Amino acid sequence: MPSKNFGLLGIRSSTPKIVRINGDDSSKIIYRNLGNNHAYPYIWAGTVAVSSGTTTVTIASGIKFHGYEAGTYATVSVTPNWNAGDVYITKNTAANTITATTGNAGADAGTSELDVLFMLGEDAVLTGFMCRGTGNPQQSY
């Protein structure tokens, strides 16, 4: 039976750590604070313009923080701001690029935009949650 402090199983460590996160005052970004004045962005958002008549656009290229390449470790969520049809994300892990392909081309009058949200990191491995209730040290499943 696992110990009472055992919760998530991570790939890099077996017990979750308390991590301080900081948000930027004006930018759409959240940093993970690693201590000793080191921090890296792990959740950020942006807007990517899709030119008129274009269906494919690069939304990330060459992004890498502390060994995590966006082309390999990023989870990407894309929301079109026009009738883009189906939107597909393609990750090129060798070139460390991420592209979005839309079903409909950018609007004829100027450009159309994609709202993009990135989350950087390895996939979580969840094997179970255990909780201690108030006043009772036994695990509750």
Q: Kindly report, residue by residue over 84-109, the tens digit of the pLDDT.
A: 899 999 999 999 999 999 999 887 65
**Average per-residue pLDDT for the chain:** 79
Q: Tens digit of pLDDT for each residue in 42-70?
A: 899 999 999 888 899 999 999 998 888 99
State the Cα–Cα distance between residues 128 and 71, nearest whole angstrom.
Answer: 29
Q: Give residue 26's pLDDT band: very low, low, confident or very high (50, 70, 90).
A: confident
Let me know the angle formed at the C-alpha of 102 by 60 and 75, rounded to the nearest 5 degrees. Answer: 40
pLDDT the model gives residue 6 = 46
Let me know the angle formed at the C-alpha of 115 by 52 and 40, rounded to the nearest 5 degrees. Answer: 130
What is the torsional sign of CA 110, 117, 88, 59? positive
Residue 18: pLDDT over 70: no
Q: Measuring CA to CA, how many Å separate 54 from each of 49, 51, 63, 104?
A: 10, 5, 23, 8
